Structure 1
Amino acid sequence: MELLSVNVGVPRLNPWKGLAATGIDKRPVEGPVAVTAPGPKGDGRVGLAGDRAYDVKHHGGADQAVYAYAREDLDRWEGVLGRPLAGGVFGENLTTRGVDVNGALIGERWRIGADVVLEVAVPRVPCGTFQGWLAREGWIREFTVAAEPGAYLRVVAEGEVRAGDPVEIVHRPGHEVTVALAFRALTREPELLARLSPAQALPEEARELVRRRTGAGRAGRPG
C-alpha cells in the first residue's frame, strides 16, 4: 500500500456554486508536503500545506482535513467516463494504490511515511462543484449510485508526506461500518442509518443525524 501522488489545489473560478473560487483542481506536487491538523471548519484551512477550501460552510476543518481516493477506483471510472483521469482530478489530496479506501472502517487509522497518522472520518458527498468540474450531466447521481466516494480523514499525528510513501493500517476499530456503508446510509439509503451507531469516530453532525433518525441515545467519542 502506498501513495501514488500528493495533490494540492490550484485556485480557479467556481461558476457552479456562485463562489469566487474552488480548490477542486488538485495537482500532484513534488517533494514533501507538510500535514497539520487544521482546527474547526469555517476558515478554509485543510490538512495539506499550500491547499485550502473555499466553500467554507461545507468543506475544510478537522473532519475533512485530507481527502483520499484509490487509483483502482479512478481506473474503473476511466472506463465509465471514457477518458484518462490523473491523480487529483476527483479533488483528492492523496491518490493511493493498494488501499481499499471505500472498504476502510470509520475510525481506522493509517500511518503514512515516517510520522503522519490519519483517521478515517467520513465519506465524501458529491456536490455541484464536482459535477461542474467534470462537465458531466447527472454526475452527482452517477457517483452516488456507485457508492465509491473515497474518504475524508482527520489528522492524528502531523508530519510530512510525499509520493511513494508506504501506507500502513495501524488501527482498526471493532465494528463493521465502512466508508461505503456510511455513504449509502447518509445519501440514498437512510434505512441503513441505524447500522452506523457503532462508528463513534463519525463527525458529530453525522452522529446527530443517526441519533435523530434512529432514536439512539447519546454516546461520547471513545478515547
Structure 2
Amino acid sequence: MIRLLAGLGVEGDAHLGATVKHRSRVARDPSQPNLRQVHLIHAELFEELRGAGFEVAPGQLGENVTTSGVDLLALPTGTLLHLGGTAVVEVTGLRNPCTQLDGFQQGLMSAVLDRDEDGAVVRKSGVMAVVRTGGEVHPGDPVTAELPPEPHTPLRPV
C-alpha cells in the first residue's frame, strides 16, 4: 500500500514535495513545481523487457504505481487517473529514462527507448503525475482514466 498526499506525492518517497526534488532540476531552479510526484509504469513494459532478456519486476525501475490494461503512453497530458477508491493523479508527462537504469542491468536504458516510423524517440519507461486527491492505493486497486477536454496535448518528457 502507498499513501498519496495531495499536492505532494507519495508519502516517504524521495520525490515528495510541491517543488522539484530531482538533483539536476533543483540545480537549475529549486522553485520549479514538482511535475514528477508519482511515477507510473504499465506492467506490459515488464513483459516486453522479459522478452528482450531482462529480469525486471514491478518497483525495480523506481515507479510508485504499476498499472495493467491502461495504455499510459497514449494518454494526453492532463488525464486524470483514478487509483482505487479515492486517489486521483493528473498525468503531467513522460518519464525520461536515465543512465541509472544501466547500473541496474546493462542495456536497460536502450531497451526502454525506441524510435517511431518517423525516427522520433519513443520513451517507454512510464509517465509522471501529480497528486490531485490523496488517498491509499493498494495492490489490485482499479485504475480508470478520465481524459481532459479536447484538443488533447500529447505527452512530452517532464
Scaled to the shorter chain, the TM-score interval is 0.7 to 0.9
Over 3 Å counting, the alpha-carbon distance change for 1:116 and 1:143 in structure 2 is same
Aligned counterpart, 1:144? 113
Aligned counterpart, 1:52? 14
Q: CA deviation at 1:172?
A: 2.8
On the 8 A contact 1:124/1:150 being kept in 2, the answer is yes
Over 3 Å counting, the alpha-carbon distance change for 1:110 and 1:177 in structure 2 is same
Alignment of 1:132-211 (within 5 A): 132-136=103-107, 139-145=108-114, 147=122, 148-179=124-155, 182-183=156-157
2:48 to 64, 68, 76: 76
Whether 1:36 aligns to 2:5 is yes
When normalised by structure 1's length, the TM-score is 0.56
Q: CA deviation at 1:56?
A: 3.1
Query: Structure 2: any 5+ residue segments left out of the alignment?
Result: 16-20, 27-32, 116-121
Larger Rg: 1
Q: Is the partner of 1:106 in helix, strand or coil?
A: coil
Over 3 Å counting, the alpha-carbon distance change for 1:178 and 1:167 in structure 2 is same
Aligned counterpart, 1:100? 71
Over 3 Å counting, the alpha-carbon distance change for 1:126 and 1:152 in structure 2 is same
On the 8 A contact 1:105/1:173 being kept in 2, the answer is no
State how many pairs are aligned.
141
Q: CA deviation at 1:123?
A: 0.5
Q: Is the partner of 1:76 in helix, strand or coil?
A: helix
Separation of aligned partners in 2, 1:76 and 1:101:
15
Alignment of 1:113-124 (within 5 A): 113-124=84-95
Q: Aligned letter for 2:3?
A: A
CA RMSD in angstroms, aligned pairs only? 2.4
When normalised by structure 2's length, the TM-score is 0.76
Q: Is the partner of 1:77 in helix, strand or coil?
A: helix
Separation of aligned partners in 1, 2:149 and 2:102:
33
Question: Which has the larger helix fraction?
Answer: 1
Separation of aligned partners in 2, 1:133 and 1:175:
39
Q: Aligned letter for 1:104?
A: L
